[in-house]
Structure 1
């Protein structure tokens, strides 16, 4: 009997250790430097469109992708009068074996350095992020909204703040109950570069990033969601959060959490209802069927004069 109880207890502890990520932390905090000479395709490179404007927008890409999916909106923002910065986060777009060695803390530290340089250069700076980029946008708000370097406005698209949570009714991937253990032995599984997806449509066939499963890097991303959610109340800058109700990558329930827990007095949200395509209805600004209207809506939000830092 005691043997059975011991086995059950060990199994429970094993699952909790994997699911809660207790004791986990990003250990390598070495600053990353960009080297776009190593990208697997020129399409993955940073997008930089400048015209000596007094205002700028920082576009942060997702995981495990590149700035390529911002190509349409970046040009639209530039045409609307902004300098546009869509940097390729270091090691993204490189050899997958190099990328898998890095973590969220290193990626975010790079974005912070990039953002601070923009904040020191431009009178007005907006930040927009998709997926992991949306998570980073929220974290930037939590970090800077109450400081002299506050962003003027924030926009998130399909931002995750929870991965698996029974309490919130959100299960992104049940396999995560084993991933911490798997990561001890394998940093990635079946990873490869992706330069276009001919089996997709609506613009997603031009997606550039990685395929496969980055176990260690993914754990780092999931672990950092907890702190971002905990600090959502620190976001006092104007915030616009967008999510499709049928997002197949980041569950729609994440938008509900952002709606309820952010601290901005100037908050707006948008629920999109895309019809079915051969994609996950996730990288919304890359889809031909919605990107024009959605970019118009974002520009309207960014241009609204009554919206000021809270």
Structure 2
């Protein structure tokens, strides 16, 4: 299947000091991260935002992939950035936040820090318990894309939720939740006050369970789930630049 226009991955080669890996969400595309990436590039950072396997084409393609495919993609991008930059940060939205946490769990201090926007590690939906069985007989249900408060803003994402892929995401959630104490990197978590996709319990689980000492939570007052395209996007961009700059200086032993 051809890649949807606007769903392409993007990259920018900037500073060799700070590199940022951007991870988009489930059923989404790099389009939801592009404004963030452009802001980071304008600040001089090196940026990578891959298109996760099965995304940006047709929802049926996503059902042919699983969490190991998505993780393998970001893991390879992280390795490439690590060869180029002194401090590599991972920024993720929704499932991208899940993948970012897994990278931190697997790579330890090689991950300089994490910025998570409405990360997902569980769901309170009552049908989640039967998802593995349901996925065997129902290919997809109505999608979750486009939860944005800003008028006129559109997320490029699937209008269907592929259930086999969703069942695989649930497996990743279980792994990530179990290993949250292994996350010791500086962490900035930004969550929307109103989110119709990821429940508030997700942020609470992350913040209560990680082993990080440098932790900050920021509530986004005027955005829904896809906050990187929403009214509070400038707030996300500014906080993330300040965070990465500060943490890199601390790692390098430079004065503020």
TM above 0.5, yes or no, is: yes
- 1:128 matched residue in structure 2: 91
Deviations 1:115-155 (A, max 9, x none): 11211121221110000000011111111115xxx111111
- 1:282 matched residue in structure 2: 225
Deviations 1:21-80 (A, max 9, x none): xxxxxxxxxxxxxxxx821x2200002122364321110000010010112211110111
Other structure's SS at 1:78 match:
helix
Query: How do 1:50-199 and structure 2 match up within 5 A?
Result: 50-51=13-14, 53-146=16-109, 150-163=110-123, 171=124, 173-189=125-141
Aligned partners of 2:89 and 2:111 also within 8 Å = yes
Distance 2:141 2:184 in 1: 40
Q: CA RMSD in A?
A: 2.3
Name the CA shift for 1:201/1:257 in 2 (closer, same or farther; >3 Å).
closer
Distance 1:137 1:52 in 2: 21
Alignment counterpart, residue 184 of structure 2, candidates 226, 232, 236 = 236
1:253 partnered with 2:196: no
Name the CA shift for 1:216/1:84 in 2 (closer, same or farther; >3 Å).
same
Aligned partners of 2:189 and 2:217 also within 8 Å = yes
Aligned partners of 2:94 and 2:118 also within 8 Å = yes
Unaligned runs of 5+ in 2: none
Aligned partners of 1:204 and 1:286 also within 8 Å = no
Distance 1:174 1:120 in 2: 44
Distance 1:213 1:182 in 2: 13
- TM, length-normalised to structure 2: 0.90
- 1:38 matched residue in structure 2: 2
Give 1:273 shift. Answer: 2.1
Aligned partners of 2:28 and 2:55 also within 8 Å = yes
* Paired positions, count: 251
